[in-house]
Amino acid sequence: MKAFFLRLALRISAATASDDDADGVAAVATTLNPAVVVIAAIGETASRRRAAGTSPEDHFSLAALSQRTSAIIDGIKKKKKKTYSGDDDDCGGDDEWVTLIHGDWYDLRPFVKSHPGGPIAIRTAAQLDATLLLHSQHPFTDARTLGVILEPLLVSDDEQARLDAKFPAVVSPPPALDGHEFDLRAAEASLGIPTRRRRRGGPSSSSSTPPPAVDPFEAELKAEVRAYFESLAAKRGISLLEATKAPPEQWLVFALNAAVLLVFGLIPLLRTGSVASMIFAPLSLMTLLGGLWHDGGHFAVSRNWRISAAFASSVPWVTFADEWYSEHTVWHHTWTNVPGKDPDLLPESRLRYRPAARRQSQRDAGGLADDNSLHPIEIWALHASLLIYPVLSVRSAWDGVLLRVVPFKKLRGLAFCRYAAARLGFTVATLGWPWLLLRNESHARRAACSVVPWIVISFYFVYGNFVTHLTEETTSGRDRSWYRHQVKTTSNFASSMATSPLWVRLMTWFTGGINTQIEHHLFPTVAHWHLPMIQPIVERLCHKHGMPYKNAPSLPAARKLMWLNLVPSMSQVRLKVK
């Protein structure tokens, strides 16, 4: 056991220490409590970083690193007492927290309580290939620190083989419908993850083999955005991690927005059901919760994972948090616009692109629809019911396939009944409240109060989704570099800080950051309040490296872009969903 702690202490010390320093740690380790040695090595590393001019709270603060190390130590001790068994159920026991990263299985149990995202963040990666998720969620993490944390969690060779056999679909998942793959060798090197390749016929990594080069666009982008947040952290006297979360001014806007919603939206809607409140209340609600709900699903609201989780659960009438984490954070953000991998393409499966010549002929004729298509308004009306989502959610829980595209937790018996009752219950309550509270109003008024807010929320969602992901350029964009792929498959609207900073700020508040979708996809764990500030950096580097930076300058331009590029059609639903 002491040998394990000695090796861990040496690795931590070696991250910044010389050979003499490492020898000193080894000498002390033979006489002191090994846990103390590990934490002391971390402290010494932080001291050297301070002396070198690096912030001591660089993503992992000293206290956080000590906490994580203690969790690893406790986990290893428990693992010695309890045999790692393969007979546990897939949704519990020892296999509950295993994940595949760059071809190796890791047991994340010791890290559950100490991870900044809490157990929810670890659970989103459980029993999945979390390579892309790790890559996207840790843009500012020190590579060597990440390697030090992950190395003790690597399971034995016997367990690697057993988990390979138990989760074959994770080890060899079905390919994307268009055959797209990411080249993650450079990502593996940039994240500092130990490359073993003991299995799957691959050779073990060798120190003589040079690591693959990191994409220069990715390297410059991370460096410049990190420098911005380091400057912000130094100015506010906080850590780099905290600087990326919601700042005090965002919480002030949240409080003011909540007051406006209550006084001019919810109270009139619940008391009289006025037409103005039917429109204003849902819009105010989404400007209040939309951005923070979205950020909460990416652990971007606060360093306290419980606060982020609370906001991720704040719109149960739209989606449950576990569905949102799986559909959006795990799959959409890692496999953006890749058919067969991105569940958010379900709305896109009802869309068909017309050739450019055909589009022009239809515009000249003054029409946009053809014999086998639906008007965009008709598609919006279809989504406005929002009843399709509770039904699809319940179907996903029964099938164990989220939106009939990607894996999801399979429920049976009482667990399924509770889930279905809760999911459908929120929908019934959202539709049925006017019949309980507006008894003095007409049936037509009560029916309108049931339906109109749903339609408004649907317009809010669908408009942003169409413009930012479902244009002809974004759906056809592909790149094997993950960061370049995000740029090619997303687009912005009304987001250029160089033209009108105040207007961009207003649109960011109103849309919850959807207007800066490129920046959000590149740095999903950053609160949307900061995205306009890093927008000039992203745009400049995109132009420098020959990347298409797509930004509709205004809402009318975004509407025109959507209108001229998309013709809804139901003809491809079975092709892409089945």
**What would the DSSP string read from start to end of 182-244?**
---HHHHHHHT------STTPPPP-TTSPPPPPPHHHHHHHHHHHHHHHHHHHHHT--HHHHT
Most confident of 30-39, 208-217, 287-296, 470-479: 287-296
Q: Which of 46, 71, 52, 108 is nearest to 239 (CA)?
A: 46
DSSP 150-194: HGGGBPPHHHHHHHHHH-HHHHSPPPPTT------HHHHHHHT--
User: Cα–Cα distance between 95 and 110 in angstroms, integer?
Assistant: 13
pLDDT for 223 equals 93
Q: Looking at per-residue confidence, does 181 or 147 come out higher?
A: 181
Q: Measured between alpha carbons, how far is 475 from 468 in angstroms, rounded to an integer?
A: 10
Residue 568: which pLDDT band, with cuts at 50, 70 and 90? very low
Closest-CA residue to 531 (of 556, 494, 488, 559):
494
Cα–Cα distance for residue pair 226/234, rounded to 1 Å? 12
pLDDT range class, residue 24, cuts 50, 70, 90? very low
Strands 492-493 and 551-552: parallel
Tokens 């060899």 locate to 172
Residue 239 has pLDDT above 90, yes or no: yes
The dihedral sign for the CA sequence 394, 395, 401, 402 = negative
In this prediction, residue 88 carries a pLDDT of 39
What Cα–Cα distance (Å) separates residue 158 from each residue in 79, 85, 165, 218, 373? 15, 11, 11, 36, 55
94 pLDDT tier (thresholds 50, 70, 90): low
Verdict on whether the full-model pTM lies above 0.85: no
Select the more confidently predicted residue: 521 or 455.
521
The pLDDT of 188-197, averaged and rounded, is 56
* Chain CA centroid to CA 349, Å: 22
Report how far residue 89's alpha carbon sits from residue 93's, in angstroms, rounded to the nearest whole number.
Answer: 6
DSSP string spanning 400-450?
Answer: TEETTTEE-----HHHHHHHHHHHHHHHHHHHHHHHHH-TTS-HHHHHHHH
Q: What is the mean pLDDT of residues 319-340?
A: 89
CA distances from 138 to 121, 129, 131, 184 (A): 12, 16, 11, 15
Phi-psi region of 413 (alpha: psi -120 to 50; beta: other; left: phi over 0): left
pLDDT tops 80 at residue 494: yes
**Mean pLDDT for the stretch of residues 350-358:** 37
Q: How many residues does the chain have?
A: 578
pLDDT given at position 534: 95
Largest alpha-carbon pair distance within the chain? Answer: 86
pLDDT at residue 221 in the model? 95
Q: Distance (Å, rounded) from C-alpha 417 to C-alpha 48? A: 56
Lowest mean pLDDT among 75-84, 503-512, 524-533: 75-84
pLDDT at 20 over 50: no
Which secondary structure element, helix H or strand E, spans residue 523, and what is its range? none
The two three-digit tokens of residue 318, written as one number: 């739209």
What pLDDT sits at residue 387? 61
pLDDT in tens, 49-69: 444 444 434 444 444 544 554
Q: Which of 25-29, 183-187, 268-272, 386-390 has the highest mean pLDDT?
A: 268-272
Least confident of 344-358, 376-390, 450-464, 511-525: 344-358
Provide CB contacts within 8 A for 339, sequence distance 6+.
176, 177, 178, 345, 576
Q: What is the mean pLDDT of the chain?
A: 74
Is 552's pLDDT higher than 50?
yes
Proportion of the chain above pLDDT 70, given as a percent: 67
Helix (H) / strand (E) containing 492: strand 492-493
Average of pLDDT values for 184-190? 63
Residue 459 has pLDDT above 70, yes or no: yes
Following DSSP, what letter does each residue of 33-91 receive, concatenated? Answer: -HHHHHHHHHHHHHHHHHHTT--TTSSS-HHHHHHHHHHHHHHHHHHHHS---TTS-TT
Q: Could you tell me which residues come within 8 angstroms of residue 395 by beta carbon, excluding any fewer than 6 positions away?
A: 404
